[in-house]
Chains A and B, each alone.
Chain A
Amino acid sequence: MTQALFFQYLFAGISYGVIYAIVAIGFNIIYNTTGIINFAQGEFVMLGGMISISLLHYFPLPVAIALAVVITMLVGALIEIIFIRWLDSPSVLRMIIITIGLSILIREVALHIWGESIRSLPYFIGNELTTVSIGPVRISPQVFWVVGVCGIMVLGLSLFFKMTSVGREMRACSANRTAAILCGINTRNMVTLSFMLSAGIGALAGCVMSPITYTQYDCGTSLAIKGFTVAILGGLGNSMGAVAAGILLGIIEAYSVAFVPLAFQDAISITILLIILFVRPHGIFGSSAAARLKEF
Chain B
Amino acid sequence: MRDSKLLKIALLIGLVIGIQALTTVTGTQYYLTQLTMSAYYALLVIGLAVVMGYAGQISLGHAGFFAIGGYLSAALTTHNLVALQANPVIHGLGNLGMLVSGQDIYGEPLLVVAPWAACIIAVCMAAIIALAIGIPVLKLKGHYLAMATLGFSIIIYRIGLATEYFGEADGISEVPGFTLLPAIGSFGPISVSGDFGLRVENYYVAWGLLIIGLWLLLNLIDSRVGRALRAIHGSEEAAEAVGINTAGFKLKVFVLSAVYAAFAGVFLTHYNGGIGPSEASVMKSVRYVALVAVGGMANVWGTLVMGVGLSFLSLRGVFGTYDDAVFGAILIVVMLFAPNGILSMNVKALFAGRRTTDEHR
In the bound complex, do residue B154 and residue A96 qualify as a contact, i.e. CB atoms below 8 Å apart?
no
Give chain B nearest CB distance to A78 CB in angstroms.
13
**Quick one: which of B140, B158, B293, B331 contacts A264, CB cutoff 8 A?**
B158
Closest to A262 in B: B162
In the bound complex, do residue B144 and residue A104 qualify as a contact, i.e. CB atoms below 8 Å apart?
no
For residue B361, CB closer than 8 A to chain A, the reply is yes
Determine the distance from Cα of A109 to Cα of B328 in the docked complex, in whole angstroms. 11
**Quick one: which of B161, B328, B358 contacts A94, CB cutoff 8 A?**
B358
In the bound complex, do residue A273 and residue B360 qualify as a contact, i.e. CB atoms below 8 Å apart?
no
Give chain A nearest CB distance to B295 CB in angstroms.
13
Closest to A105 in B: B328
For residue B146, CB closer than 8 A to chain A, the reply is yes
For residue B286, CB closer than 8 A to chain A, the reply is yes
For residue B203, CB closer than 8 A to chain A, the reply is no
In the bound complex, do residue A97 and residue B147 qualify as a contact, i.e. CB atoms below 8 Å apart?
no
Chain A residues with a Cβ closer than 8 Å to the other chain, count: 43
Closest to B155 in A: A267
In the bound complex, do residue B158 and residue A93 qualify as a contact, i.e. CB atoms below 8 Å apart?
no
Given A225-B154, A261-B162, A266-B154, decide whether A96 and B146 contact each other with a Cβ distance below 8 A: yes
Stretch of B13-21, B264-272, B317-325 with 4 or more beta carbons under 8 angstroms from chain A: B317-325
In the bound complex, do residue B58 and residue A105 qualify as a contact, i.e. CB atoms below 8 Å apart?
no
Given A93-B56, A274-B151, A274-B152, decide whether A108 and B336 contact each other with a Cβ distance below 8 A: no
> A94-131 vs B: 1/0 string, CB under 8 Å?
10111011111101110010000000000000000000
For residue B189, CB closer than 8 A to chain A, the reply is no
In the bound complex, do residue B146 and residue A104 qualify as a contact, i.e. CB atoms below 8 Å apart?
no
Stretch of A82-90, A139-147, A206-214 with 4 or more beta carbons under 8 angstroms from chain B: A82-90
In the bound complex, do residue B325 and residue A109 qualify as a contact, i.e. CB atoms below 8 Å apart?
yes
In the bound complex, do residue B154 and residue A88 qualify as a contact, i.e. CB atoms below 8 Å apart?
no
For residue A263, CB closer than 8 A to chain B, the reply is yes
Give chain A nearest CB distance to B245 CB in angstroms.
20
In the bound complex, do residue A94 and residue B360 qualify as a contact, i.e. CB atoms below 8 Å apart?
yes
In the bound complex, do residue A101 and residue B329 qualify as a contact, i.e. CB atoms below 8 Å apart?
yes
Determine the distance from Cα of A47 to Cα of B161 in the docked complex, in whole angstroms. 27
In the bound complex, do residue A88 and residue B358 qualify as a contact, i.e. CB atoms below 8 Å apart?
yes
> B138-162 vs A: 1/0 string, CB under 8 Å?
0111111011101110110011011
For residue B332, CB closer than 8 A to chain A, the reply is yes
Contacts of B161 in A (CB 8 A): 263
Contacts of A102 in B (CB 8 A): 328, 332
In the bound complex, do residue A277 and residue B148 qualify as a contact, i.e. CB atoms below 8 Å apart?
yes
Determine the distance from Cα of A291 to Cα of B147 in the docked complex, in whole angstroms. 17
Given A88-B358, A97-B289, A112-B321, decide whether A83 and B144 contact each other with a Cβ distance below 8 A: no
Give chain A nearest CB distance to B286 CB in angstroms.
6
Chain B residues with a Cβ closer than 8 Å to the other chain, count: 46
Contacts of A273 in B (CB 8 A): 147-148, 151
**Quick one: which of B56, B151, B159, B361 contacts A225, CB cutoff 8 A?**
B151
Determine the distance from Cα of A183 to Cα of B155 in the docked complex, in whole angstroms. 47
For residue B355, CB closer than 8 A to chain A, the reply is yes
Given A83-B332, A91-B361, decide whether A104 and B286 contact each other with a Cβ distance below 8 A: yes
Contacts of A90 in B (CB 8 A): 358
In the bound complex, do residue A83 and residue B151 qualify as a contact, i.e. CB atoms below 8 Å apart?
no
Give chain A nearest CB distance to B170 CB in angstroms.
14
In the bound complex, do residue B158 and residue A267 qualify as a contact, i.e. CB atoms below 8 Å apart?
yes
Given A92-B142, A274-B152, decide whether A100 and B286 contact each other with a Cβ distance below 8 A: yes
> B282-324 vs A: 1/0 string, CB under 8 Å?
1100100110010000000000000000000000000001101
Closest to A90 in B: B358
Determine the distance from Cα of A295 to Cα of B145 in the docked complex, in whole angstroms. 11
Given A100-B331, A105-B325, A108-B325, decide whether A271 and B155 contact each other with a Cβ distance below 8 A: yes
Contacts of A295 in B (CB 8 A): 141-142
For residue B176, CB closer than 8 A to chain A, the reply is no
Given A104-B325, A104-B331, A267-B155, decide whether A37 and B143 contact each other with a Cβ distance below 8 A: yes
In the bound complex, do residue B358 and residue A98 qualify as a contact, i.e. CB atoms below 8 Å apart?
no
Q: Which chain A residues numbered 47 to 95 have a C-beta less than 8 Å away from chain B?
A: 83, 86-94
> A220-257 vs B: 1/0 string, CB under 8 Å?
01000100100010000000000000000000000000
Determine the distance from Cα of A6 to Cα of B286 in the docked complex, in whole angstroms. 40
For residue A259, CB closer than 8 A to chain B, the reply is no
Contacts of B155 in A (CB 8 A): 267, 270-271
Determine the distance from Cα of A295 to Cα of B144 in the docked complex, in whole angstroms. 9
Contacts of A108 in B (CB 8 A): 322, 324-325, 328
In the bound complex, do residue A270 and residue B325 qualify as a contact, i.e. CB atoms below 8 Å apart?
no
**Quick one: which of A87, A107, A263 contacts B158, CB cutoff 8 A?**
A263
Interface residues of B (CB under 8 A from A): 56, 58, 60, 136-137, 139-144, 146-148, 150-152, 154-155, 158-159, 161-162, 282-283, 286, 289-290, 293, 321-322, 324-325, 327-332, 335-336, 339, 355, 358, 360-361
Q: Given A90-B358, A104-B283, 14 other A-B contacts at CB below 8 A?
A: A39-B146, A83-B336, A91-B358, A93-B142, A96-B58, A101-B290, A104-B327, A104-B331, A105-B328, A225-B151, A267-B154, A277-B137, A277-B140, A296-B140
3 nearest A-B residue pairs (beta carbon)? A104-B328, A101-B331, A263-B162
